[in-house]
Amino acid sequence: MSAKVKRVGGGRLTVLIPYLWLAAFFLVPFVIVVKISLSQTAMALPPYTPVLDVLAGWDGVKQFAAQLSLDSYRLLGSDELYLNSYLKSLEVAGVSTALLMLIGYPLAYGIARCPRGLQPLLVMLVVLPFWTSFLIRVYAWINILQRDGLLNDVLMRLHLIDAPVAWLASDTAIYIGVVYSYLPFMVLPLYASLEKIDPSLIEAAADLGCPRWKSFWRVTFPLSWPGLAAGALLCFIPITGEFVIPDLLGGSRSLMIGQTLWTEFFSNRDWPAASAIAVALLALLLIPILVYERLQKCAIGEAP
């Protein structure tokens, strides 16, 4: 760092302190996960071998390297349980992202077309539930969806159904919970891109005799594409690794990958398998994460 240009916050410590913290609590743990995923289960605590013995010097490292194994990854490949939960996660994430787009788009569009003065309030109303606890929002749906819950009660009074329907412990419940919890993540980036669209473009289209639906489809929709992409990624990535929603609302027949990791770790105490699942999940998510990173950079680059 050159001392010629003095900058506020240019000091070494400004960079060093957060850098070291993130290295210690984000990077190092990651290396450990990869290492343990290459280890074998052992009965003693911590339940895995080998442990890298740094004090033994080079011999320790060699011994360590010799004991590394791909067993956990072979397990992932051989047991259908793991493959199925990966596929299940992708399915839930894909379908919910599509549903979120369908529900989020009219909402974001409606907000962007409201009078200017009202928009910040509406945006805040969309964000506010995001600030309340995730757990509480999922729990609120248990109240509604359970067998003697409100939904069955209302539907029976309307004579739409004769007997209570088991909404909980089903994929429907997972989709309701996911869409409900992630809606702000879809609406905010969409609103941000819709709000930026110059209304004169649509006026121009109308002046040239373009019907409203067509100008939406040919002008507004293509211009909102970045927001839609950002929203989709912001939803898809965390939904894939979701644990709380499928655990509380879903059934036990097919698990999502986050639940499988949790069970492997807390119930089976198979740390290498849990770590291997984590590494494989991350590999799966790397592509959307890199795309997201690129988008983030573009967004920051655009800002003045």
Interface positions, 250-279, toward other proteins (CB under 8 A): 258, 261-262, 265, 271, 274-275, 278
Q: Does 211 help bind other proteins (rule: CB under 8 A)?
A: no
Q: Does 157 help bind other proteins (rule: CB under 8 A)?
A: no
- Work out the angle at residue 193's Cα, subtended by the Cα atoms of residues 181 and 106, and round it to the nearest 5 degrees: 55
Q: Does 234 help bind other proteins (rule: CB under 8 A)?
A: yes
Q: Does 180 help bind other proteins (rule: CB under 8 A)?
A: yes
- Using the contact rule CB under 8 A, the part of the chain among 58-66, 69-77, 196-204, 220-228 near other proteins is 196-204
- Measured CA to CA, the distance from residue 101 to residue 99 in angstroms comes to 5
Interface positions, 39-58, toward other proteins (CB under 8 A): 46
* Residue 116 DSSP symbol: G
Shorter beta-carbon distance to other proteins: residue 73 or 109: 109
Amino acid type, 286 = L
Q: Which one of 64, 86, 141, 167 is in contact with other proteins (CB under 8 A)?
A: 141
- Measured CA to CA, the distance from residue 77 to residue 265 in angstroms comes to 18
Q: Does 183 help bind other proteins (rule: CB under 8 A)?
A: yes
Q: Does 23 help bind other proteins (rule: CB under 8 A)?
A: yes
260: Cβ–Cβ under 8 A, 6 or more apart, which residues?
81, 82, 85, 277
- Measured CA to CA, the distance from residue 99 to residue 102 in angstroms comes to 5
Interface positions, 285-304, toward other proteins (CB under 8 A): 285, 289, 292-293, 296, 300, 303-304
How remote is the C-alpha of 86 from its chain's centroid?
14
- In the complex, least distance from residue 78 CB atom to other proteins, rounded to whole angstroms: 22
- With CB under 8 A as the rule, give the number of residues binding other proteins: 94
Tokens of 237: 């990535």
- Measured CA to CA, the distance from residue 240 to residue 126 in angstroms comes to 23
